[in-house]
């Protein structure tokens, strides 16, 4: 079955793109199309007009003084292959390499992964622990929004019609001398490739020379209506060593950060247990360094 | 596709190159499959690639709920869609409103009653696929929901909602041998297994093209396994004689049983629309609809009570199986017959009581699927065998060795004696050796690691070809034409569906005629070129078509040999065909090319076409008692699986499967190995990740996003041992392998996972939540799910991305 779209516009500038989006209420931006095309075909989303972002120069990874800016049209493959990202945001590089399979990674974009609004978006937990923000442009101007405020519910985001994510900003945060950083992304799925996360975790720990946490940030996917920061678990761990007692407290605390349901991929009970397992493994790794 | 930074994964191929020299002929070799290049290059034209001038596209409106009375159908809005040429409901059918293969219980179009999600309500033909499907969605059905039953065991309890008027128990099959014999058992194991169904997941969805010639006859080009089934179904709904329905098999992108019985339904739909409009109609099912409405592997509930003595000898086996037919019988009776005979595997058991019942439910209906009821009962039997081995304190291999059928103990549960040699023990030893069973178990393993390793074994006894109950279908037809240039046309009635039947037929014909395989062209089946050859099922393709080809070659040689003898100056009995030549036996220097002989036949206007025929031998079988010879002969298979289980997350990785197969003689080595590799991977998928998630009879994961078949990254390394022997009844002594390749795989994986974790797992598939649930309180984080949680939001996580 074909995709029910009336027109496709290929603007050459961001201004043209925003105008094309503003003209029709049923206009939608499209980049890789790996989610959108499927949703259009299934009737889960509708678009009378598609605005192709391919010619806007929105792809690219750029380092500024205190941040890395990732263009919204940067592909998962480019993110996963980027030395800059691998060095400063290894969880994001790892997550990008686990979206779908390689052919998907060569089309799917970071902006699309966010704008799609899935609770299972693999790049969301790494961006949450990076405390990243998105730049959003529209005919009315641009605004900046924290990734933590972008997701509203399954398939729903704070983006309004006519708005376009143009880039994602990841603030650089160098550890103090003597501190070490452990950052990981893990996802659980029944098969090795091409699987939507049943539970995913991104964790970033900065550990002082005495073994206590200088910082610990945790975020989960697929365990709530939106990707979530596990602030309760973070508080339970603050300043402590990741020993057995702390890990157990964190496993308990994280249950209050998540709100999984039973769905076709797994029951809520499994997601609660798997979230605890992923967290425990991350903390053990942090302890080992 | 592998990730660019992924570790390369090992892939092996049997190191045995097989006979290579043309003098031995192509039998057992690896010459290139005739269909391979076009399929790999993407130039094969499947039904969805076909187009004709004026062609219309079909759509179908289906019931969204599993049980209802049809109060009204309003097609006005559908008819008003631009481009719609016809909307057909039950009232407008020209012939019988019936598509049931064996039982007349399934209408083509529901008239008054809906019995499953996906029951057809109306058909649409339109100028574009989009218009057809839009119109189909606009068919307005007023349905009054009725009580439904979704559990096959509950369906058999008196008072359950009735799916059909006659009651929910469709049929019962039994076989009994000996008596209960419980007193002599020292250990008794009881277990209840819930074995899930499976989606075929063929790459190409169901599809066909119907081309009418007025209202007098019709051609159907269909993606199918069984052109003769399609022919019968179309003749029935159109009210035409069989001779007026021509069915040509299109190149078929996978079947696995899913294109045995089911394609008759879309073909009947397209045929009805073609007659209604007078135009060609193409009907290709979108993937989600295909998954939602087509047949599935039957889910089964299997209750066991088996006993052994303290020496590890099986004393008795009681099996009570219920098969979920879904809303229509389809071919469930035939599946149950095979399940019934396969229920205790290749073991010598003095006392056997097996009962297999078929229950109607309002679920999706079960159909043919590689293994045909045997994988489900094998999964249960091999689980129980492992339980018994543990109970008597024997290694699973040793326990099996003490109980396997062999040349001295070769009576199966129906009383039939297996033909010698019985190769169960040989298969077990070969598979265990390939897997390194002893080395694996000698290696120390840490018990407290996140990843647990395990090895498991399973065997299967497979009745080759059709069961006695289907013997009327067990015949086949072939045509062999020697062209004037020495090339050869072969036509058969059995289909290539990816399994390698073309190359098997090509090899058999080339071997028999002594020509190079490239000289032989095997053409897709067409019901106007050969007689009804029965279905391409039951691993019978190479057997049935090969035997018919050999018969045709024999008949052709009654005309060819005298001409060759004249050219050679010898007696006709001295003529032998090999290496592309006719030669005098024992004097290879006295020869002429086959092409010269062919030219001579043409010059003399001698009939260079021959037909061939095969039918299976008559057998004795009593359907009431289950005693006798259900199958002509049998094959044995043994798989050993090595798994790595992430215990706390419940994720199973199948690392390696070692498969030993009793195949008689190899026809084509690549095709054989391909069948084994594919069967193993499909069995592994069924056993681990492929879960049919049903909600009130509706499949809630009808896509490859959520129905998880193995990717190449998940495919285990497959080691293959081919156990050859003489004496099988097939062409050159071959036995079918298509289904044995799958049957033991999931059971071996299950036993490996149980060995790795130390807990019994009695439900298939072994998805992560099922494993974590089975661990119960032994899971280190079981407690987190038992406590109260304050963070509760009303929104839910959407099932889509």
pLDDT of residue B178: 87
Query: Given a cut of 80, is residue B793 above it in pLDDT?
Result: no
From A103, which residue of chain B is nearest by alpha-carbon distance? B1
Residue boundaries of the structural domains of chain A: 180-288
CA distance B5 to chain A (A): 9
Mean pLDDT value across residues B280-309? 97
Inter-chain CB proximity A251 and B781 less than 8 Å:
yes
Instruction: Give B726-779 pLDDT, tens digit per residue.
Output: 978 899 999 999 999 999 999 999 999 999 999 999 999 999 999 999 999 999
Of B711, B769, B800, which is closest to A192 when you measure between CB atoms?
A: B711
CA torsion, ordered A120, B765, B691, B343, to nearest 10 deg:
180
Inter-chain CB proximity B689 and A190 less than 8 Å:
yes
Instruction: Give A56-99 pLDDT, tens digit per residue.
Output: 999 999 999 999 999 999 999 999 999 999 999 999 999 999 99
Query: Given a cut of 60, is residue B7 above it in pLDDT?
Result: no
Mean pLDDT value across residues B124-142? 97
From A222, which residue of chain B is nearest by alpha-carbon distance? B797
How buried is A160 (Cβ within 10 angstroms: 0-12 exposed, 13-18 middle, 19+ buried)?
Answer: exposed
Which residues in chain B are closer than 8 Å to A264, comparing Cβ atoms?
693, 700-701, 706, 799
Residue B765 preceded by cis peptide, ω within 30: yes
Query: Given a cut of 60, is residue B647 above it in pLDDT?
Result: yes
Which residues in chain A are closer than 8 Å to B700, comparing Cβ atoms?
264
From A94, which residue of chain B is nearest by alpha-carbon distance? B5
Inter-chain CB proximity A259 and B792 less than 8 Å:
yes
pLDDT of residue B632: 94
Which residues in chain B are closer than 8 Å to A32, comparing Cβ atoms?
none
Of A39, A188, A276, which is closest to B781 when you measure between CB atoms?
A: A276
Inter-chain CB proximity A102 and B711 less than 8 Å:
no
The structural domains of chain B, ordered by start, are 47-146+200-293 (3.90.1170.50), 300-467+623-778 (3.30.365.10), 475-615 (3.30.365.10)
Query: Given a cut of 90, is residue B208 above it in pLDDT?
Result: yes
Which residues in chain B are closer than 8 Å to A198, comparing Cβ atoms?
768
Q: Where are the alpha helices (DSSP H) in A176-238?
A: 231-237
CA distance B443 to A22: 67
- Give the 3-state secondary structure of B181-204: CHHHCCEEEEEEEEECCECCCCCC
Of B4, B648, B705, which is closest to A102 when you measure between CB atoms?
A: B4
% of chain B beyond a pLDDT of 90: 91
CA distance B655 to chain A (A): 12
CA distance B794 to chain A (A): 9
pLDDT of residue A174: 86
Split at pLDDT 50, 70, 90, the class of B792 is very low
From B785, which residue of chain A is nearest by alpha-carbon distance? A269
Of A42, A191, A261, which is closest to B708 when you measure between CB atoms?
A: A191
From B649, which residue of chain A is nearest by alpha-carbon distance? A274
Helices and strands, counts by H and E, chain A: 12, 14
Q: What are phi and psi of B508, to 5 degrees?
A: -65, -45
Q: What are phi and psi of B430, to 5 degrees?
A: -65, -45
Q: Is the dihedral of CA A268, A270, A275, A280 positive or negative?
A: positive
Residues in Cβ contact with A177 at an 8 Å cutoff, skipping those fewer than 6 apart: none
CA distance B9 to chain A (A): 13
From A195, which residue of chain B is nearest by alpha-carbon distance? B705
Superfamily of domain A180-288: CO dehydrogenase flavoprotein, C-terminal domain (3.30.390.50)
A278 three-state secondary structure: helix
Q: Is the dihedral of CA B508, B514, B518, B524 positive or negative?
A: negative
Beta pairing class for B281-284 and B587-593? unpaired
CA distance A118 to chain B (A): 6
Mean pLDDT value across residues A138-159? 97
Q: What are phi and psi of B699, to 5 degrees?
A: -80, 120
Of A103, A190, A225, which is closest to B796 when you measure between CB atoms?
A: A225
Q: CB of B504 within 8 A of CB of B668?
A: yes
Mean pLDDT value across residues A127-155? 97
Instruction: Give B650-699 pLDDT, tens digit per residue.
Output: 999 999 999 999 999 999 999 999 999 999 999 999 999 999 999 999 99
From B695, which residue of chain A is nearest by alpha-carbon distance? A264
Query: Given a cut of 50, is residue B794 above it in pLDDT?
Result: no
Inter-chain CB proximity A1 and B130 less than 8 Å:
yes
Of A39, A155, A190, which is closest to B651 when you measure between CB atoms?
A: A190
Q: Which run of H or E residues covers position A228?
A: strand A228-229
Split at pLDDT 50, 70, 90, the class of B532 is very high
Which residues in chain A are closer than 8 Å to B129, comparing Cβ atoms?
1-2
CA distance A190 to B765: 11
Which residues in chain B are closer than 8 Å to A277, comparing Cβ atoms?
648-649, 780-781
Of A1, A116, A190, which is closest to B801 when you measure between CB atoms?
A: A116
Indicate the length of chain B as a whole number.
801
Query: Given a cut of 90, is residue B1 above it in pLDDT?
Result: no
Query: Given a cut of 60, is residue A117 above it in pLDDT?
Result: yes
Query: Given a cut of 80, is residue B447 above it in pLDDT?
Result: no
SS3 content of chain A, % helix, strand, coil (to 5): 35, 25, 40
Q: What are phi and psi of B139, to 5 degrees?
A: -70, 125
Query: Given a cut of 50, is residue B207 above it in pLDDT?
Result: yes
Query: Given a cut of 90, is residue B791 above it in pLDDT?
Result: no
CA distance A63 to chain B (A): 24
Q: CB of A36 within 8 A of CB of A25?
A: no
Inter-chain CB proximity B773 and A256 less than 8 Å:
no
CA distance A128 to chain B (A): 19
Kindly report the number of other CB atoms within 10 A of residue B729's CB atom: 17
Q: Which run of H or E residues covers position A44?
A: none
Split at pLDDT 50, 70, 90, the class of B13 is very low
pLDDT of residue A124: 98
Q: CB of B306 within 8 A of CB of B188?
A: yes
From B699, which residue of chain A is nearest by alpha-carbon distance? A264
CA distance B701 to chain A (A): 7
Mean residue pLDDT of chain B comes to 94
Beta pairing class for B351-360 and B314-326? parallel
Mean pLDDT value across residues A122-135? 98
Kindly report the number of other CB atoms within 10 A of residue A140's CB atom: 11
Kindly report the number of other CB atoms within 10 A of residue A95's CB atom: 28
CA distance B657 to B766: 17
Split at pLDDT 50, 70, 90, the class of B100 is confident
CA distance B252 to B205: 9
Q: Is the dihedral of CA A75, A76, A78, A83 positive or negative?
A: positive
Q: Is the dihedral of CA B266, B268, B270, B272 positive or negative?
A: negative
Which of B4, B283, B649, B778 is the mutation pick for testing A, counting most A CBs within 10 A?
B649
Of A259, A264, A278, which is closest to B701 when you measure between CB atoms?
A: A264
CA distance B541 to chain A (A): 33
Split at pLDDT 50, 70, 90, the class of A211 is very high
Beta pairing class for A151-153 and A141-146? unpaired
Inter-chain CB proximity B799 and A264 less than 8 Å:
yes
Of A191, A194, A269, which is closest to B785 when you measure between CB atoms?
A: A269
A-B C-beta contacts closer than 8 Å: 148
CA distance B792 to chain A (A): 6
């Amino acid at each position: 079955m074909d995709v029910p779209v009336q027109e496709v516009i290929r603007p050459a500038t961001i201004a043209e793109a925003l105008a094309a989006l503003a003209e029709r209420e049923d206009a939608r931006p499209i980049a890789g199309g790996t989610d959108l095309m499927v949703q259009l075909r299934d009737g889960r989303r509708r678009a009378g007009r598609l605005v192709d972002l391919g010619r806007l120069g929105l792809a690219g990874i750029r380092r500024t003084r205190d941040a890395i800016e990732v263009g919204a049209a940067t592909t998962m493959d480019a993110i996963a292959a980027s030395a800059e990202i691998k060095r400063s945001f290894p969880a994001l590089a790892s997550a990008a390499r686990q979206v779908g399979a390689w052919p998907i990674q060569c089309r799917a974009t970071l902006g699309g992964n966010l704008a799609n609004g899935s609770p299972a978006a693999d790049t969301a937990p790494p961006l949450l622990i990076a405390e990243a923000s998105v730049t959003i442009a529209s005919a009315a101007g641009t605004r900046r929004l924290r990734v933590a405020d972008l997701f509203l519910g399954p398939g729903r985001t704070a983006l309004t019609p006519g708005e376009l994510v143009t880039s994602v900003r990841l603030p650089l945060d160098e550890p103090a001398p003597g501190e070490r950083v452990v950052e990981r992304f893990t996802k659980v799925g029944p098969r090795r490739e091409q699987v939507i996360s049943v539970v995913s975790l991104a964790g970033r720990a900065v550990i002082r020379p005495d073994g206590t946490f200088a910082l610990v940030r945790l975020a989960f996917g697929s365990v709530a209506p939106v990707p979530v920061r596990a602030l309760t678990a973070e508080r339970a761990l603050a300043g402590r060593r990741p020993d057995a007692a702390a890990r157990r407290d964190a496993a308990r605390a994280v249950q209050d950060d998540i709100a999984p349901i039973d769905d076709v991929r797994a029951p809520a009970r499994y997601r609660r247990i798997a979230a605890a397992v992923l967290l425990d493994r991350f903390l053990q790794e942090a302890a080992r360094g | 596709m592998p990730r660019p930074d992924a570790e390369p994964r090992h892939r092996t191929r049997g190191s045995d190159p097989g006979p290579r020299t043309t003098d031995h002929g192509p039998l057992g070799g690896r010459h290139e499959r005739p269909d391979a290049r076009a399929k790999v290059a993407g130039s094969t034209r499947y039904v969805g690639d076909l187009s004709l001038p004026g062609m219309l596209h079909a759509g179908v409106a289906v019931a969204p709920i599993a049980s209802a009375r049809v109060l009204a159908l309003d097609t006005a809005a559908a008819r008003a869609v631009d481009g719609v040429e016809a909307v057909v409901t039950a009232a407008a059918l020209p012939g019988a409103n019936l598509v049931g293969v064996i039982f007349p219980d399934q209408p083509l179009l529901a008239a008054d009653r809906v019995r499953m999600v996906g029951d057809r309500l109306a058909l649409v033909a339109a100028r574009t696929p989009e218009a057809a499907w839009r119109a189909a969605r606009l068919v307005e059905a007023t349905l009054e929901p009725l009580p439904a039953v979704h559990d096959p065991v509950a369906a058999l309890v008196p008072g359950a909602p009735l799916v059909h008027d006659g009651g929910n128990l469709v049929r019962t099959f039994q076989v009994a041998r000996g008596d209960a014999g419980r007193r002599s058992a020292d250990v008794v194991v009881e277990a209840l297994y819930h074995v899930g169904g499976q989606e075929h997941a063929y790459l190409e969805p169901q599809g066909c093209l119907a081309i009418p010639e007025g209202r007098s006859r019709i051609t159907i080009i269909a993606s199918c396994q069984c052109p003769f089934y399609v022919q019968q179904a179309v003749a029935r709904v159109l009210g035409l004689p069989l001779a007026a329905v021509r069915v040509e098999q299109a190149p078929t992108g996978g079947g696995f049983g899913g294109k045995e019985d089911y394609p008759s339904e879309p073909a009947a739909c397209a045929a009805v629309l073609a007659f209604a409009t007078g135009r060609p109609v193409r009907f290709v099912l979108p993937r989600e609809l295909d998954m939602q409405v087509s047949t599935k592997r039957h889910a089964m509930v299997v209750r066991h009570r088996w006993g052994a003595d303290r020496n590890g000898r099986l004393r008795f086996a009681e099996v009570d199986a219920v098969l979920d037919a879904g809303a229509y019988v389809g071919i469930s009776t035939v599946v149950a017959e095979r399940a019934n005979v396969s229920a205790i595997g290749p073991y010598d058991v003095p006392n056997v009581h097996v009962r297999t019942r078929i229950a109607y439910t309002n679920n999706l209906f079960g159909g043919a699927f590689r293994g045909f009821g045997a994988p489900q009962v094998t999964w249960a039997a091999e689980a129980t065998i492992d339980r018994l081995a543990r109970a008597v304190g024997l290694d699973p291999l040793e326990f099996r060795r003490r109980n396997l059928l062999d040349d001295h103990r070769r009576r199966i549960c129906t009383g039939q004696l297996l033909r010698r040699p019985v190769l169960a023990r040989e298969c077990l030893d070969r598979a265990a050796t390939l897997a390194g069973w002893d080395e694996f178990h000698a290696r120390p393993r840490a018990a407290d690691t996140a990843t647990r390793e395990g090895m498991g074994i399973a065997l299967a006894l497979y009745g080759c070809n059709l069961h006695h109950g289907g013997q009327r279908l067990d015949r086949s037809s072939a045509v062999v034409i020697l062209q004037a240039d020495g090339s050869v046309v072969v036509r058969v009635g059995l289909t290539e569906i990816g399994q390698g039947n073309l190359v098997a037929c090509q090899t058999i014909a080339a071997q028999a005629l002594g020509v190079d395989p490239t000289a032989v062209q095997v053409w897709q089946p067409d019901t106007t070129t050969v007689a009804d050859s029965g279905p391409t099922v039951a691993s019978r393709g190479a057997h049935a078509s090969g035997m018919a080809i050999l018969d045709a070659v024999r008949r052709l040689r009654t005309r060819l040999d005298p001409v060759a003898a004249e050219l050679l100056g010898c007696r006709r009995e001295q003529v032998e065909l090999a290496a592309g030549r006719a030669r005098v036996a024992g004097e290879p220097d006295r020869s002429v090319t086959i092409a010269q002989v062919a030219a001579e036949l043409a010059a003399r206007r001698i009939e260079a076409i021959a037909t061939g025929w095969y039918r299976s031998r008559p057998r004795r079988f009593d359907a009431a008692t289950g005693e006798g010879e259900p199958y002509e002969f049998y094959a044995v298979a043994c798989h050993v699986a090595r798994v790595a289980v992430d215990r706390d997350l419940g994720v199973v990785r199948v690392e390696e499967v070692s498969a030993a197969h009793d195949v008689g003689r190899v026809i084509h080595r690549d095709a054989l190995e391909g069948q084994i590799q594919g069967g193993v991977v499909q069995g592994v998928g069924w056993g681990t990740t492929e879960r049919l998630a049903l909600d009130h009879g509706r499949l809630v994961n009808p896509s490859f996003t959520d129905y998880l078949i193995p990717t190449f990254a998940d495919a285990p390394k497959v080691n293959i041992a081919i156990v050859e022997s003489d004496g099988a009844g097939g062409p050159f002594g071959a036995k079918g392998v298509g289904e044995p390749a799958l049957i033991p795989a999931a059971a071996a994986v299950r036993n490996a996972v149980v060995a790795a974790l130390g807990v019994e797992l009695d439900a298939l598939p072994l998805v992560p939540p099922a494993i974590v649930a089975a661990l119960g309180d032994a899971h280190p984080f079981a407690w987190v799910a038992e406590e109260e949680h304050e963070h509760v939001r009303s929104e839910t996580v959407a099932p889509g991305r």
